[in-house]
Amino acid sequence: MELLHRAVLTALGAVSLVYALVKISLGYWKRRGILHEKPKFFWGNIKGVVTGKRHLQDALQAIYAEYKGRAPFVGFFACIKPFVLVLDLELVRHILVTHAGNFTTRGLYSTASVEPLSGNLLQLDGHKWRALHAQSAGVFSAANINKLLPRLLQISRGFQSSLGKQRLQTLNINELVDSYNLEVVASMAFGLTVDHTEFRRWTQTYWSNFSLWRAYLALEFPLLARVLRHQSYDKAATDYFQKVALRQLQEQRKRDRQPLQTFLQLYSRMEQPLDDVQIAAQAFGFVLAGLVPLNATLSFCLYELAQHPELQERVRAEIRGTLQQHDGQLTQEGLKELLYTKQVLNETLRLHTPYPLLLRRATKEFELPGSVFVIARGNNVIIPTAAIHRDPAIYDEPLRFDPDRFEAEARRKRPAMSFLPFGDGLRGCIAAQFVEQELLVGLVALLQHHRYAPCAKTEIPLKYDNGRLLLMPKTEIYLSVERMDN
Ligand code: HEM
């Protein structure tokens, strides 16, 4: 009896302790006197997100719309974790650019000793990130991206022929664009040249180990996660990616004087090269940071163009005219002339922003100049880019797909920091220039000889997958694809 009594008391004590801890955590913004959305017990402000009812972007957008103009930032809780949700573009500029030194950390979980491929630029923080960033900046220089264009064009020609000669077909657009982006990543990041079936399989399953709760606990208690040797990815998958990268590096070293074709070559030719496992982690970074947003952007772009045939014709006319001007070849100069095509890509990235938010953690206290607002050391910060991209005060009728918004004059009139699909500043996307090149080259291959239109299987309006942090279509996008005669 006494034992039972004790057990009940212990259980009650534990429940009360957890209750008190949750209450203390959820009282954070109130104690600091900061405007905030009232949190629900345990769920904070993301109950619908955790239960899959809505996308995180919708939750952020609702709070952004409600509080914008009342303060430079508002308090927000992802479950019991407090975040600063930025509402003001001037503050965005301070965080990303002018005072970026106070915010170089993202706060993602990484343990290179347990999971070597987590030592990539996206996941690392602190001095490890700083050193790696300094070295990687050279790899992604404009000169190197130019030198890689011939290889990219070679891949895109193969991809264009794979579209076939069939006059009319219904295609799964996600699969279609994945075959292009996957080939680019497999061959240019990992140096693979042959069959990519196995590579594809692992790109689709490396998250299979993922558990929202374990990931949350690893973010919240990284030291404990390290002691418990927490792994974010499926081990067999990361073993595979590591093995392929190491093997290709070995192969590459046996062949001197090869033309520049891969990022592996660029990494191993650096003045102070990384060790091979570190290079493998950067190759994995392509899969982790790049594959999903590349696929999402091209899929969303074709989806929008299918619904706006007049815009699609205009892009095609520009592509064909430019190719004609350059003897049928896509050159560096030709790419620069694809101004309208770039506007279409930018409008796609605005309306369907693949990374709907940017994350930072304050490593030093930051006082917003001329105000009483302070971001405390250790505060986690969210910049809700997708909400900014859909703010009607910045983009008139924000849900309308209108590439003219990105004409030079229209862009100049908008405030700084109002278009951030790649983030900005020190921790902005290191591959942005390469990504733009890859997407443009991909669009040329897709649109030069083929016309896209909605078909019976096309879901309109499109829904996002609430279970993913990045913005991706919920279901496959199908379109009717017509091969044109000329
Ligand atoms: C459409 C495709 C892509 C989009 C929209 C995109 C967007 C972004 C965004 C928003 C960030 C965070 C920026 C910030 O916090 O300020 C980021 C970071 C990053 N991206 Fe991309 N990205 C794309 C493709 C790629 C690809 C193909 C790579 C290949 C290497 C890549 C590598 C990275 C890396 C390494 C970082 C972390 C940089 C750092 O923390 O220093 N991204 N990207």
pLDDT of 44-90, one tens digit each?
999 898 888 999 999 999 999 999 999 999 999 998 899 999 999 99
Q: Tell me if 114 sits within 8 A of 123, measured CB to CB.
A: no
> Is the pLDDT score of 1 beyond 80?
no
Rounded to the nearest 10°, the torsion over CA 373, 376, 380, 381 is 30
Q: How many domains would you assign to the chain?
A: 1
The CA distances from residue 332 to 208, 266, 319, 329, 337, in Å, are: 39, 20, 13, 10, 9
* Structural domain that includes position 74: 34-483
- How far is ligand 1, taken at its centre, from the CA of residue 435, in Å? 9
Q: Tell me if 143 sits within 8 A of 457, measured CB to CB.
A: no
Helices (H), 308-430: 309-325, 332-337, 339-351, 385-389, 408-413
Q: Which pLDDT value is given to residue 446?
A: 98
**Dihedral-angle region of residue 33 (phi above 0 means left; psi in -120 to 50 means alpha; beta otherwise):** left
- Residue 27 counted as domain residue: no
> Is the pLDDT score of 212 beyond 80?
no
First to last CA, the chain: 89
Mean pLDDT across 423-439: 97
The CB density around residue 167, as the number of other CB atoms within 10 Å, is 10
- Residue 12 counted as domain residue: no
- How far is ligand 1, taken at its centre, from the CA of residue 384, in Å? 16
- Residue 147 counted as domain residue: yes
- Residue 344 counted as domain residue: yes
- Residue 1 counted as domain residue: no
Task: Say if ligand 1 is within 6 A of residue 431 CB.
Answer: yes
- Residue 23 counted as domain residue: no
Q: Tell me if 199 sits within 8 A of 190, measured CB to CB.
A: yes
Residue 321 — very low, low, confident or very high, per pLDDT cuts 50/70/90? Answer: very high
Give the nearest ligand 1 atom to 291 CA.
27
d(CA 427, CA 424): 7
> Is the pLDDT score of 161 beyond 80?
yes
CA geometry: angle 51, 467, 218, nearest 5 deg: 85
Residue 6 — very low, low, confident or very high, per pLDDT cuts 50/70/90? Answer: confident
The CA distances from residue 36 to 66, 89, 415, in Å, are: 11, 18, 26
CATH code of residue 141:
1.10.630.10
- Residue 338 counted as domain residue: yes
Task: Say if ligand 1 is within 6 A of residue 286 CB.
Answer: yes
Q: Tell me if 103 sits within 8 A of 362, measured CB to CB.
A: yes
> Is the pLDDT score of 10 beyond 90?
no
Type of residue found at 154 = Q
- Residue 5 counted as domain residue: no
**Prior bond of 461 cis (ω within 30°):** yes
Any known ligand binding at 429?
yes
Higher pLDDT, 165 or 133: 133
Which residue has its alpha carbon closest to ligand 1 atom 17? 429
- How far is ligand 1, taken at its centre, from the CA of residue 202, in Å? 20
Residue 420 — very low, low, confident or very high, per pLDDT cuts 50/70/90? Answer: very high
Return the closest-CA partner of residue 450 out of 173, 167, 159, 174.
Answer: 167
- Residue whose entry in the numeric block shows the structure tokens 């299979």: 208
